[in-house]
């Protein structure tokens, strides 16, 4: 589904990703780990199409298409959704408006009819209660005045409504207490199916106790230096990143 090939990315003149390779297949959950400054968030930002990241070489294919030639919204309509580490507050735009406009943009792009209002409200209310959020969230401006945990739940709510093919979660666990973490993890686990891929960027192993990944990658200094299964995450938790750094230098 997603193929990242020898990706080099610079930000403000300094190279952050230095030849990153990654393949994610449908049905798989991948965790991208690594010390601060390794370039973890850069990868998801480049895939989503954020400004300020210059791809100097390499390519990214999504379902065989050259992602780097697509506009930000085209990537979203193709089925890629980024859950932000710091979801932005959008004063004046109601949550419900964003959900409906985003869902209809997808449907229209697929040549479908816009969703009828009752059907939409039914869908949203189901997902809302699954995320343990009350109806007032819909009428509030996107993320405005939300606590850290509420913002993250709101990101997952969007995923549940929009049902992306590739869900990317950037440090979704940061700022969550244990209860909120469970709700968020349940939301993410409910997204798992044979057709969907999930790419999680995380600093801590904690999240992976709740969402067990198929593959774990360690990103160090702009490259993936080690990949393994969920056991690798446990090992990182126990031993830190030092040994991987040494191993990769050797």
Partner 1 sequence: MSAAHAFLQRLGERADDEPTWVAARRQAGAARFEALGFPTKRDEAWKYTDVRRIAEGEFTLADDAELDEARFAALGMPLDAHRLVFVDGVFSADLSDLTDLPDGVSVEPLTTAMRTNHEAIGGAIGRLAGVDFSPFTALNVALSEEGAVVRIGQGVVVEKPIYVVFASRANESARMSHPRVLVMAGARSQSTVIEHYAGEAGAANFTNVVSEVMLERGAIVDHYKLQEASSEDLHVASIHVEQGRDSRFTSFNLNLGGALVRTDLVTDLNAQGAETNYNGLFFVQGRQHVDNHTLVNHNAPNTFSNENYKGILNDRARGVFNGKVIVKRDSQQIEAYQNNANLLLSDRAEIDTKPELEIYADDVKCSHGATTGQLDEEAVFALRTRGIDEQMARGLLTLAFAGEVMDQVRLPVITERVERAVAGKLPERFNLADLVEVSDALEEA
| Residues within the interface to partner 1 (CB under 8 A) | 48-51, 71-73, 75-77, 81-82, 84, 87-94, 96-98, 100-102, 104-106, 108-109, 114, 117-118, 120-122, 125, 135, 138-139, 141, 158, 162
* Residue-wise burial string across 137-149, b where 16 or more C-beta atoms lie within 10 A, e elsewhere: bbeebbbeebeeb
Kindly state the tokens that stand for 67: 């992602």
Check the CA dihedral 106-77-32-10 and report its sign.
negative
Closest of 47, 64, 46 to residue 10, by C-alpha: 46
Closest distance of CB 217 from partner 1, Å: 23
Nearer to partner 1, 45 or 233 (CB): 45
Nearer to partner 1, 88 or 194 (CB): 88
Closest distance of CB 70 from partner 1, Å: 11
Kindly state the tokens that stand for 30: 């991948």
Closest distance of CB 159 from partner 1, Å: 10
Nearer to partner 1, 55 or 105 (CB): 105
Nearer to partner 1, 141 or 245 (CB): 141
Residues 6+ apart with CB under 8 A from 16: 9, 10, 39, 42, 53, 222
Nearer to partner 1, 11 or 121 (CB): 121
Closest distance of CB 35 from partner 1, Å: 26
Strand, helix or coil for residue 187: helix
Closest distance of CB 92 from partner 1, Å: 3
Strand, helix or coil for residue 102: helix
Find the helix or strand (DSSP H, E) in which 167 lies: strand 166-170
């Amino acid at each position: 589904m997603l193929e990242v090939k020898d990706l080099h990315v610079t930000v403000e003149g300094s190279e952050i990703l230095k030849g990153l390779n990654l393949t994610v297949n449908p049905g798989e959950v991948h965790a991208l780990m690594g010390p601060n400054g390794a370039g973890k968030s850069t990868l998801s930002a480049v895939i989503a199409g954020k400004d300020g990241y210059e791809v100097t070489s390499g390519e990214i294919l999504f379902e065989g298409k050259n992602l780097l030639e697509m506009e930000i919204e085209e990537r979203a309509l193709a089925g890629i959704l980024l859950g932000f580490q710091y979801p932005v507050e959008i004063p004046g735009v109601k949550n419900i408006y964003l959900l409906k406009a985003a869902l209809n943009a997808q449907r229209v792009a697929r040549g479908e009819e816009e969703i009828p209002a009752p059907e939409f409200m039914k869908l949203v209310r189901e997902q809302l209660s699954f995320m343990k959020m009350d109806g007032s969230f819909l009428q509030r401006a996107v993320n405005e005045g939300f606590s850290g945990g509420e913002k993250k739940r709101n990101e997952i709510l969007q995923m549940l409504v929009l049902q992306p093919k590739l869900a990317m979660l950037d440090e979704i666990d940061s700022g969550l207490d244990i209860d909120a973490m469970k709700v968020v993890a349940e939301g993410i686990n409910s997204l798992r199916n044979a057709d969907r891929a999930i790419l999680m960027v995380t600093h801590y192993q904690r999240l992976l106790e709740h969402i067990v990944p198929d593959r774990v990658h360690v990103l160090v200094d702009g490259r993936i230096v080690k990949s393994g299964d969920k056991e690798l995450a446990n090992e990182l938790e126990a031993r830190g990143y030092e040994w991987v750094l040494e191993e990769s230098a050797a």
